[in-house]
Structure 1
Amino acid sequence: MSRATFTASELDERPSTAASNVRETVDVWVDLASPSHPFFFKALTDSLSNVRTTVTVREKTETVPLTQQVGYAFRTLGRDYENPHLRKIGIPLRTAQLALKAPRADVALSSRNAMCILAAKARGVPSIHFTDNDICASVDGLKAEELYHRLEAQATHNVVPEAFRAEVLTGRGADPDRVHTYDGYKEDVYVAAFEPDPAFVDELPFDSGEFIVVRPEALSATYVDADGSLVPDLLVGAVERGIDVVYLPREASDRKFAAGLPEDRVFVPNDPLSGLELAWHARCVLTGSGTMAREAARMETPAVSFFPNTRISVDRALIDQGEIFHSLDAGKILDYVESVTDLDAEPDRTRARRVRREVAGLTAGLMNDLMG
């Protein structure tokens, strides 16, 4: 495994507008497959000099509108399916679409995305893959999921947080010398680039200006094995305690959890809202998955995870460090929310900016090596 060559003091001294120098102009293909990807890759590519970026996007929940929001020009190729059986068909189908229709490029960038890696390999394009997921799936015997993660490891280079168990990638066939680590988390990269809008709270219906965010578990995902959601208990409990909630359903079926609750206390937006804006302005962020909890934690907003299964290493590290509170007990979670002080809820991006510079510098170095 390798690390970026910059020292911490050098990284802190480098201006963010010149974070990374790619020696010659590089045509970069970025493939976005999930909602967090537009923010990560826009923040990363904006940090790199001498890159020309072409973007493809998979239709999956809010991925397309969020790609528009960050300002990328893009082409939509393929879609995700809520049905697990259709999803198995959708992934190889989209891989074939990418292999046939992907743009000409010198290097491909992706995150947790075997589709892009395989398509790039088929076209003779080297790939740089960013991942933080070192658990294959929570469902025993899910061979398709195991294969997908094994294919992710076939990228030319893999870039992972230090908290990631790198032996997972090498055990799946990755070259240890091409697994590169950085001191932080992938969410740091785009948290660092985020500029909050003070007027954002005006879009919300709460008189107090204080609220929490609740995002449900991804119950249809292959990596989640749960009998039901904790969200109904959280929403009812929040209303009973006088806590205002922005509730963000993942899928149409999640909307039923807010049915019958007062709309002036539990706000379900009709249009996508920026998760980063919500995390910046919220008193606390509660999520049944990992990404939103890590986004909040890395901007130093109190964060709660109620992910129901075995947690990936980056989540375990943040829980062990006290940056994320984890529980499957709605009462304990709401007790934690009520314990949050004004000082606790004061966000900051200083740490994230250091990590963004490190990741950008590492990526530029890999591109320079690939270009010879």
Structure 2
Amino acid sequence: MDVSETELARADDDARRTPRGRPVNVWVDLASPSHPFFFKALTDSLSNVSTEVTVREKTETVPLADEVGFDFETVGKDYENPTLRKVGIPMRTAQLTFNAPAADVALSSRNAMCVLAAKARGTPSIHFTDNDICAYVDDLKAEELYHRLEAQATHNVVPKAFETSVLTERGADPDSVHTYDGYKEDVYVAAFEPDPTFPERLPFDGEEFIVVRPEALTATYVDADGSIVPDLLAGAAERDINVVYLPRNDGDEKFAEGVPSENVYVPDEALDGLELAWHARCMLTGSGTMAREAARMETPAVSFFPSTRISVDQALIDEGEIFHSRDAEEILDYVESLTDDDAEPDLTRAKRVRREVADLTARLVNESVQ
């Protein structure tokens, strides 16, 4: 281990302690699939805290919370039906208000349910977000209200690239907004330990591959007439580029129809996204999270997101960490231009950001319990 790695390990071990004799009781509410990874990495970086966790049933959130090692209680669920969803959110907020664990402080991410329940219980809250755009659809009042309620947290923690005026316009006290120099993906990417045998699970005999994840065409924040994925897959096959294709839903599977199966692999079961990002030549996605994850571990990343981009995505594009295009040929030209040095992942930068976010969180927790 060289000097820099020793310093990183020491900094990770030297977690901030609260000034109280007993551990601080921290309530963590996980509402979406990305939350288990983020909050497990964050809370593991803190000391002298006792963590209790609640989880909403939403796609893979419950099994992922179990996978990362959280002990938790499942409270409420998400609904695919828009009408039921409007009922489900206030219902779950009420459930949390009456049934959440006793805590000194609550932690959540893009989660008005936890913020409101904590406020009703008189519990200080620390809320993490990186989304400064509500939705593409105009006058989506429920979405606007949800984001406005999120901003009522005791403390709001956001990346420096985030447009902080959005939070104050939603009603947040300017003094409640705290920034860090990095991105939320850094926090859990920094804790990632790659498996060198992972490529053996793929049918490419150790050859290089890219990952393709389609756009979320049905989401309220997306405005697109169609997907460019069929052109990406067909073009990759023509160039003899191996692809791990990750459909979002059954309707996305048709994009791979007619493409030679020796070039495009559609997994029968879920594959670890961070393992894919670490081992891939390039990560291509129609949304933001997987591109940011890859970029922050310094794997080449492409976004073909079709709508107005949130500030953190635009910042990474402006900084050259993510390549953005809606032209399949241009994207594949970019992939073929990558060198071995370009595709050499590294976690040093992410570890620095995780230390900064952990230190900031510890300071806010301490302020909340004094």
Please give the range of the TM-score, normalised by the shorter of the 2 chains. Answer: over 0.9
Q: How does 1:1-372 map to 2 (within 5 A)?
A: 15-24=11-20, 25-372=23-370
CA distance in structure 2 between the aligned counterparts of 1:78 and 1:236, rounded to whole angstroms: 42
For residue 247 of structure 1, report the CA deviation from its aligned partner. Answer: 1.4
**Distance verdict in 2 for CA 1:179–1:352, change over 3 Å:** same
Contact 1:139/1:223 (<8 A) preserved: yes
For residue 328 of structure 1, report the CA deviation from its aligned partner. Answer: 0.9
2:4 alignment partner in structure 1: none
CA distance in structure 1 between the aligned counterparts of 2:157 and 2:10, rounded to whole angstroms: 21
CA distance in structure 2 between the aligned counterparts of 1:111 and 1:78, rounded to whole angstroms: 16
Contact 2:199/2:206 (<8 A) preserved: no
Equivalent position amino acid for 2:63 in 1 = P
Equivalent position amino acid for 2:97 in 1 = A
Contact 1:84/1:221 (<8 A) preserved: no
CA distance in structure 1 between the aligned counterparts of 2:45 and 2:32, rounded to whole angstroms: 21
For residue 14 of structure 1, report the CA deviation from its aligned partner. Answer: 5.1
Report the number of matched residues. Answer: 362
**Distance verdict in 2 for CA 1:95–1:225, change over 3 Å:** farther
By relative contact order (CA 8 Å, sep 6+), the higher-ranking structure is: 1
User: Which consecutive unaligned segments of at least 5 residues does structure 1 have?
Assistant: 1-10
For residue 251 of structure 1, report the CA deviation from its aligned partner. Answer: 2.4
Find runs of 4+ consecutive structure 1 residues off by over 4 angstroms: 11-14
**What do the CA deviations read for 1:35-77 (whole angstroms, capped 9, x no partner)?**
2111111000000001111112222222222222211122222
CA distance in structure 1 between the aligned counterparts of 2:93 and 2:120, rounded to whole angstroms: 10
For residue 19 of structure 1, report the CA deviation from its aligned partner. Answer: 3.1
1:3 alignment partner in structure 2: none
For residue 13 of structure 1, report the CA deviation from its aligned partner. Answer: 8.8
For residue 151 of structure 1, report the CA deviation from its aligned partner. Answer: 0.5
CA distance in structure 1 between the aligned counterparts of 2:78 and 2:248, rounded to whole angstroms: 13
For residue 168 of structure 1, report the CA deviation from its aligned partner. Answer: 0.6
CA distance in structure 2 between the aligned counterparts of 1:240 and 1:342, rounded to whole angstroms: 22
**Distance verdict in 2 for CA 1:267–1:364, change over 3 Å:** same
User: Which consecutive unaligned segments of at least 5 residues does structure 2 have?
Assistant: 1-6
Equivalent position amino acid for 1:264 in 2 = E
1:7 alignment partner in structure 2: none
Equivalent position amino acid for 2:208 in 1 = E
CA RMSD in angstroms comes to: 1.6
Contact 1:305/1:325 (<8 A) preserved: yes
